[in-house]
Chain A
Amino acid sequence: MWYVLKQIAKTGIKTERLPEPAAEMVVAARLHEDILRTLGRALTIRQVDAGSCNGCELEIHALGNPYYNIEGAGIKFVASPRHADMLLVTGPVSKHMAIALRRTYDATPDPKLVVAVGDCGCTGGIFGESYATLGGVGSVIPVDVAVPGCPPSPTALLQGILAAISTAAPRSEPSLSSSAQPLPETPIERTHRIPLETPRDGTI
């Protein structure tokens, strides 16, 4: 136990002396403000690999390391789509995963956000469309934000997630001042497809 505590104490100092912390920390700090303003609570993400080469997954994993510390920003990866506000989907969407992806989307409660990750998630990338793949995530479910890159860096991923919650309309009026908010009278539905990387205005 002594060695564990010693290592934790030692590591803390090293982390602060990293060569390029500033830019990344700014992303995390803005992220936190935006979440509070637009969602009023933590964002939960369900990640779906719909056919990737697993390169994007490595960088999504990196979001949890002490440098990016995504959980410290109030964003959490969850084990079920039913607990998720956002789907983070890598591609290309293989035909064998198309049904599972669609079902995952349907199981995610509205309002929901979709971030397509990587060149393959955006367009199909090097794998393109074929007898086995359907191309980008947008060919199967509506996409709010696309983060290109092969794979995108963790910073780019954070920026993409931020872009998604910045352009999303709030679920209700900003809720920081009051904890009791009336529910919308009609269920919120998103039937239209949102153009990639275009800021959304107005309500959903």
Chain B
Amino acid sequence: MNVSPLGIAAATLPSPIPAQRCPVSSGQLLTACRLAWEQGGQLVALWASDDRDRDRGFCLRVLLRDSDGLTLLEHTLPDEGARYPDLSLIFPVANRMQRAAFDLVGVQCDAEDQRPWTWQAAWPIDCFPLRRDFEPSPKWEAGEEDYAFVKVAGDGVHEIPVGPVHAGIIEPGHFRFQVVGEKVLRLEQRLGYVHKGIEKRFETLNIEDGYRLAGRVSGDSTVAYAWAYAQALESISSLDVPARASWLRALCLERERIANHLGDLGYLGNDGGFAFGLAQFSRLKEQVLRLNRDVFGHRLLMDMVIPGGVAHDIEAAAVAAMRRQCFELRHEVRILRDIYDEHAGLQDRFRSCGQVSPELATKLALTGLAGRASGIAHDLRCDFFCPPYDTLGVRKAAQSDGDVAARVAVRFDEVLESLRLIETLAEAMPESEIIVPLPEVPTYAVGLGYVEGWRGPVLIALESGPGASIRRCHPHDPSWLNWPVLEHAVIGNIVPDFPLINKSFNLSYSGHDL
């Protein structure tokens, strides 16, 4: 994004993809966001930091994305009384991020909606955990808040509260449905139940060790998070990782994508009343996880990606086993895809269910695989060339119907493409070392990591402190952008279709609640 017409100075920001960093005034923040929106840009993340110890007040950071790369707008709020403009008027998806930024750092926004988002009465509402002078007290006990859900009134309208403990093996969150008969008039989500203080925990870790915590922000995307963390740290330290290490990272990332997509395809079949699908796809997923364990020593590939490279090398026999598995999986997945496509009952459940039009998807910044099912053809592996994806020619999945069927189709396409990528990676694995030592990390440096995980782009924004400490680390899951869309996707559908629609997005609670 070219910010010079706005009179904004830009500096290069350490990042694996082109990125710039711009200090902005309150007015420039608004005009820059408006310009980005008009030019087809989107909001990626919004978070705040306490910089009062460096006499800089609070810093509000707004990260935008367009076809040129990333733009980080940094707005200084001199004290806790200062307010910044409501960006949700331009990017509706900013609403929850602004509320969370207040709950954690205490920076105030000029928005109408001042309800808490992350806060749920576990600490006093006037204490802010991410402030540097925050002192938790053992006297604080878990409490219950009275959250102001939006009410819907009228003849025959009633409410169905669901959660936080759900009926399946799912993460906790609360859903408030307003329905007439079977039909959903409105859904409101209340998240934050698995808030476990991840960002504060980062600040107690050595910067070289943070990858382990990053890999546990959302366990299903552990490779994507660990890689994004490594990218951020390597960007700050100006370190290039050996070719073989980035090849192995991509191998792990694609295996993570395949495992999650296969699991989802099984559960989507099951939620459509086709238990055969779950049995088949969960069998295939287990085969992937078992080979992960045999080759990398961990079924979910946790702690494989580490700053500077990867933890383990793999042998020729393991490469051969992976190629063999790709061959077998492709065959099986094609058979199952035909069965899914030809199954009238299943297609009846999938088609036009939980529809998100491309217009709505654009307005609400839908991202990742759900975005690609609604005509938002973004994929970091194709849009920006980071090794080793610059040599692979990734084929982007693209659907535009925006219903459950489209999200199923994107998963099928991506599984098959990832199988091809693994085969290509395995064929041309370069010979080199797999890890290099990290150079000294500069103090007070900000860097980004940005990786296309299976669910969507995973962001890590990292700021170093003195003595290789972490001053601030903000992990940002694509679920932040996609949760609000789910509220819209379910409108007009029947309540029993909600599990199917929810599963077709399969969003992270842990990655969002932090």
Contact = CB atoms under 8 A, between A and B. Distances in A.
Given A49-B171, A62-B286, A131-B140, A97 B335 contact: no
B339 interface: yes
Nearest to A78: B167
A77 B169 CA distance: 8
B283 A131 contact: no
Nearest to B267: A61
Interface stretch (A122-130, A174-182, A186-194): A122-130
Given A7-B280, A132-B129, A54 B219 contact: yes
Interface in B285-340: 285-286, 289-290, 293, 299-300, 302, 335-336, 338-339
A56 B300 CA distance: 10
Q: How large is the interface on A (under 10, 10 to 19, 20 to 34, 35 or more residues)?
A: 35 or more
A53 B282 contact: no
Contact of B193 (A8, A53, A55, A94): A94
A16 B141 CA distance: 52
Contacts of A130: 136, 196-197, 200-201
Interface stretch (A26-34, A64-72, A165-173): A64-72
Contacts of A126: 201, 212-213, 216
Interface string B338-354: 11001000000000000
Contacts of B286: 62, 65-67
B170 A8 contact: no
Interface in B61-116: none
A59 interface: yes
15 contacts: A3-B339, A7-B339, A8-B276, A48-B165, A51-B193, A58-B220, A60-B169, A61-B263, A65-B285, A80-B167, A94-B194, A94-B196, A97-B194, A127-B196, A132-B197
A139 B278 CA distance: 36
Interface of B: 120, 122-123, 129, 134, 136, 140-142, 144, 164-165, 167-172, 192-198, 200-201, 212-213, 216-220, 222, 263, 276, 278-280, 282-283, 285-286, 289-290, 293, 299-300, 302, 335-336, 338-339, 342, 508-510, 513
B445 to A, nearest CB: 25
B169 A132 contact: no
Contact of A53 (B120, B165, B170, B219): B219
Given A55-B216, A96-B194, A79 B168 contact: yes
Given A53-B217, A58-B263, A133 B165 contact: no
A100 B162 CA distance: 12
Interface of A: 3-4, 7-8, 11, 15, 19-20, 47-62, 64-67, 77, 79-81, 92, 94-100, 104, 126-128, 130-134, 150-151, 153
A50 B196 CA distance: 10
Nearest to B136: A131
B482 to A, nearest CB: 16
A57 B169 contact: yes
Contacts of B282: 61-62, 64-66
Per CB-CB distance, the 7 closest pairs between chain A and chain B, nearest first, are A55-B219, A132-B197, A95-B122, A79-B167, A65-B282, A131-B136, A53-B219
A66 B165 CA distance: 26
A80 B162 CA distance: 12
Contacts of B195: 94, 96, 132
Given A53-B217, A130-B196, A98 B142 contact: yes
Nearest to B266: A65
A51 B194 contact: yes
B129 to A, nearest CB: 6
Contacts of B285: 62, 65
A132 B122 CA distance: 7
Contact of A59 (B192, B196, B299): B299
A87 B198 CA distance: 26
B193 A58 contact: no
A58 B165 contact: no
